[in-house]
Amino acid sequence: MNLFYPNFEFEIRYPHILNFRDIYRELHAPFVKLTDRISIGNQNTIEERLILHFDSDNYKILSQWDRLNIRTEGDFLRLSKSNSIVETPFFDLYKKISDQSTFSNAINYIFILVAINNNFEDSNTTQRIKEEYFTEKIDNIVNKPDDIALVFDKFIDNKQINVNYGPYKGISDLQKRNILPSNPKNIPESEVGEMIIFKLIENTSDITFKKFKDACDTCNDLITNLWAK
């Protein structure tokens, strides 16, 4: 398989911490020395937020009064290993936030991955997917569609899995989703391929690194089953 991962996000959401603006500088101080730079958004408002930029490792952490988010690109399986950037500093920072007396509980987490498989020789991926998954009735809806997608939803207890699967038609597919990878190696040179957007949401107050690793395994199983050719 010739796989590319132009976008990855993991986000923990929690009820508003009303005094976040007053406490976040002290909470984040131990981690600032690890960064390449920082930036502050919505300054001098109740929704003030801090962004920790780790440019040399190509990721950033966004911390604000109702969520903690990490964004990166490239092989996502590296993130599930011990001492990865998700285990530390991300979960270390989350522990500091959750230990505050004004923190009530987590609401859920969201795991999002965009994956592209560029290992195809045909030039019309849309037609191939149409012939593989649809009958001739699709032409009664839109005759000879230029693009096509399949959307799958699955609910397991308090988890929801959403998968959007279809052809990859070049960087414009990423741009229209506001995905702009900083490393060209995470974008296929060819505009032929398949793409999935995998999203997992679990409503739980118990959010741990193990749960993150389990989400990585679930996503990797899907990718392997879909593209194991």
Average pLDDT (52-71) is 96
Beta bridge partners of 35: none
pLDDT at 140: 73
A 10 A CB-CB count for 209 gives 16
Which pLDDT band holds residue 2 (cuts at 50, 70, 90)?
confident
pLDDT per residue over 26-42, tens digit each?
999 999 999 999 999 99
Answer with the residue of higher pLDDT: 142 or 41.
41
Q: Which amino acid is at 190?
A: S
Domain segments of the chain as ranges: 8-105, 110-227
Compute the chain's Rg from CA coordinates.
Answer: 20
Closest CA to 195 of 113, 80, 111: 113
pLDDT at 99: 97
Provide the pLDDT for residue 148. 84
**128 Cβ contact partners less than 8 Å away, ≥ 6 residues apart:** 120, 122
User: Rounded mean pLDDT of the chain?
Assistant: 92
**What band does 142 get if pLDDT is binned at 50, 70 and 90?**
confident
| 62: pLDDT strictly greater than 80 | yes
Predicted local confidence at residue 54, as pLDDT: 95
**Secondary structure of residue 58 in the 3-state scheme:** coil
144: left (phi over 0), alpha (psi -120 to 50) or beta: left
Q: How many angstroms separate the CA atoms of 81 and 89, rounded?
A: 13
Position 112 pLDDT exceeds 80: yes
| End-to-end alpha carbon distance in the chain | 7
227-to-6, 88, 129, 195 alpha-carbon distances in Å: 17, 31, 13, 11
Give Cβ neighbours of residue 203 (< 8 Å, ≥ 6 apart): 107, 108, 158, 159
Q: How confident is the model over 145-181, as pLDDT tens digits?
A: 778 889 999 999 999 999 999 999 899 999 999 998 9
Q: What is the mean pLDDT of residues 187-200?
A: 93
Report, as an integer, the average pLDDT of 66-73.
98
173 or 11, which is more confident?
A: 11
Give the mean model confidence (pLDDT) for residues 127-155. 80
Across 47-62, b (16+ Cβ under 10 Å) vs e yields ebbbbbebeeebbbbb
Model's pTM, two decimal places?
Answer: 0.92
**pLDDT value, residue 64:** 97
Residue 229 has pLDDT above 70, yes or no: no
